[in-house]
Amino acid sequence: MSQSMHNADRRVHRSLRRGMAVTSILIAMGLMTSAFAAPPAASGTATFQIRVIEAAKGPAAHLDPRLGTMKRDFKPFKGQFNQFKLVRQQTLRLAISQQGGVQLPTGKRFGLKMLGFTTGKVRRIRYEVQMPRTRMKRSVAPGARTLDVIRNGPKLIIISTTVR
Amino acid sequence: MTMTDEQQMLLMAFADGELTDEPEMLAEAQALMAAQAIAASAVSDMQLAKEALRLHVMSERRTADADLSMVRGRVLTKIPAPKQAQKQDVSLISRLFSWTQFFDTGQLGLAGGVAMAAVLFAVVMTQNQVTTPGERGIEATRDSVMNPGSGGTSAPVAKVQHDDDQPGVIIEDMELDGGTVMFEEGENPDEAMIIWHIQPDEGGAG
């Protein structure tokens, strides 16, 4: 009697151990699967496309062909400026806490620091604009654009930043 | 060299053409500009920004239909308190408060109301919703286009990805060490937010 109870007990233990092993394997497989299915490391980065544009007033209107898609963006400036030239273009891929930037024709630097992402329905990109006298934190929807405008003598420097 | 708040307000009034009936203050402003290149540069920048805003905002948004009576209060509630409030530097926020105080002292005619209205109008006019103080900063476009622009010819555009009832760009926080920053929201959903950096002591970047 006691021998049969002992055997039954051992069977239960074996069964439990087997069950736990199978469960462990399944969990491990699940973890591996989710690891492979996870977005690449690049998901922790944001891509900033920066265009530095020089606006001037001249005898004839001129729009740099490379700025064709931005034509309507220049509408607010057209009262005083009729020439728009792309002077620099740079794409930065920044991970959280990374910094980058572009040199402006003024000699100053337009810096960016990637701060992170917001949670919620839309994963907004949070970054900081760093200029010699200005620091500004922005939360921007993927694809949204800002135009930072500064004066450079008789010209304007327009810094277009698109992030996603 | 920096200017005092009073000098900057005087120059703002000059830039707005508000001193024509105030010969003493007009002379004072002209003397200031003659004495300090910074002052002349500041006036130039103010006029530039004002003109651009006027052309873009006032002419295209049917200002006659706009109710600007609550503009000041609404804008003030939209701008978060500066973290460096104790700094003596001039910022958009502190300047707005300076203007507020200025108005309250009865010198309304000198304060460049047109420029201020244009700026504030640009900030708030297309906001369909009013946010509570501190909830978020200055808001911008609801939609925009992006320009992959790898150089060469025009690049295709892609819609902004946001369907969360939030504007495309939100200014969360801002620190200024002198000068002024003005925001202009895009008129249409596909336009970018324009941010003017005006530094009175430089011809270049702020």
Q: State how far the Cα of A100 lies from the Cα of A74, in Å rounded to an integer.
A: 26
ipTM greater than 0.90, yes or no?
A: no
Q: Do B205 and A69 touch (CB under 8 A)?
A: no
Q: Which residue has the higher pLDDT, A17 or B158?
A: A17
Token pair for B30:
């002209």
Query: What does A118-162 look like in DSSP terms, one character per residue?
Result: --SSS--EEEEEEETTEEEEEEE-TT-EEEEEEEETTEEEEEEEE
Taking residue A129's Cβ as centre, other Cβ atoms within 10 Å add up to 22
* Residues in B touching A78 (Cβ below 8 Å): 55
pLDDT digits (tens, 9 = 90+) for A67-76: 988 888 888 8
Domain locations in chain A?
Answer: 2-38, 42-163
Mean pLDDT of chain A: 81
Please name the residue ranges forming H helices in chain A.
2-37
Q: Which of B55, B59, B143, B146 to mutate to test the interface with A (most CBs of A within 10 A)?
A: B146
pLDDT digits (tens, 9 = 90+) for B103-120: 333 333 333 433 443 344
